[in-house]
Amino acid sequence: MTAESECSDASGAVSPALRNYLRWKIYSINGYLKSLDARLIVALAGWQTSNKIVGGLAEIGVHHGKLFFLLALSRQIGEKSLAIDLFEDDEMNASTRFGGRSRAFSTHVASLNVALTSTEVLKADSLTLISDDILSRVGRVRIFSVDGGHLYHHVAHDLPLAFSTLAPGGIVIVDDFCNSEWPEVTSATYDFVRAQEGKVVPAILTRNKLYLAPPDIASAYGEFASRFAAREKQMSRAPVEVMGALVVYFLSAISLSFNFHFKPNFKKICSLPAHARKISAPSMPRVERFRFIMSSGALTRSRNTPTLITSATPKA
């Protein structure tokens, strides 16, 4: 049984559009989401629906929409999504294939055929928003992804904002928790949870995200995540203590970030002899590995070791 079949019952079915996005189209969208989190979020959304947890699906920090489209495509009848972002370009994003965040996002909305009303896209600095700005657009939120600014003051603002709009049974996802490149995300999250004095607790931990929920529902999410992990054969898992709670921890190496050249290179890669295709990732310096992925590679896995498949010398 796959994660998808978990939510393929009558009330929490994965739509063909969502399945198609998760299996194929997600690879063509620039972003930072990992495959594991993508599958987990889809499974959680379906689990919520089959458990009659209803509400909007929102994200602060959309970039080109890689994660957001999972949320938008998980909407059930009567539910709305909300994409909140500055939608402004920094140097790196202005030069991407679609010429910037705003244009990339709207291009993907059109090509994926995601029907969004004008109230479901909010170009704003999240620091200026209050609960009513969100509630008036989507009502209470059942999944809220917090992936906007990664400095202390951003997270210290966005997390309480997300929780202030949460629907009964809802969950909040914090991006880059425990990522050493963004230490302030971690410290702000710790401070927020501590200040909640037990009203918010960790439910699930992945390599890139922490899933937080009120205590009355957090253990149900944890149990669901354990069942999900048991079905995902290639995934390591062990409980980890976070903020005094023992949470399900997923460790998955597959990245969805290697999408830029994935399709054109895939045929080329497959036509190579096997010995030319496989390079053990741990034997490469981190920067080289990154270059391989970004320039021409696709990442696959042997049973225990992440393995890079590549077609060419990395770009300088």
Pairing of strands 56-60, 81-85: parallel
> Stretches 60-68, 106-114, 247-255, 258-266: which one binds ligand SAM (CB under 6 A)?
60-68
CB of 185 to ligand SAM, least distance (A): 11
DSSP letters for 227-247: HHHHH-TT-EE--EEETTEEE
- What residues between 75 and 94 interact with ligand SAM by CB under 6 A? 84-86
Report, in Å, the least distance between residue 29 CB and ligand SAM: 8
Bridge partners of 201?
213
Closer by beta carbon to ligand SAM, 88 or else 216: 88
Tokens of residue 300, six digits:
């696959």
Task: Tokens for 250, please give them.
Answer: 């997923």
14's tokens: 């994965």
Q: Is 209 an interacting residue with respect to ligand SAM (CB under 6 A)? A: no
Of 130 and 230, nearer to ligand SAM (C-beta) is: 130
**108 near ligand SAM, rule: CB under 6 A:** no
Task: Tell me which of 14, 36, 40, 60 binds ligand SAM, using CB under 6 A.
Answer: 60
> Does 63 participate in binding ligand SAM (rule CB under 6 A)?
yes
**Stretch of residues binding ligand SAM (CB under 6 A), selected from 125-133, 226-234, 238-246, 304-312:** 125-133
Q: Do strands 201-205 and 245-251 pair parallel, antiparallel, or not at all (unpaired)?
A: parallel
Q: Is 37 a residue that touches ligand SAM (CB under 6 A)?
A: no
Smallest separation, CB 80 to ligand SAM (Å): 18
* Closest to 177 measured CA to CA, from 164, 191, 160, 166: 191
List CB contacts of 181: < 8 A, sequence separation 6 or more: none
Amino acid, res. 29: I
CA distance 21 to 7: 16
Q: Which residue is nearest to ligand SAM (CB)?
A: 31
By CB under 6 A, name the binding residues for ligand SAM. Answer: 31-33, 60-63, 66-67, 84-86, 101, 125-127, 147-149, 154
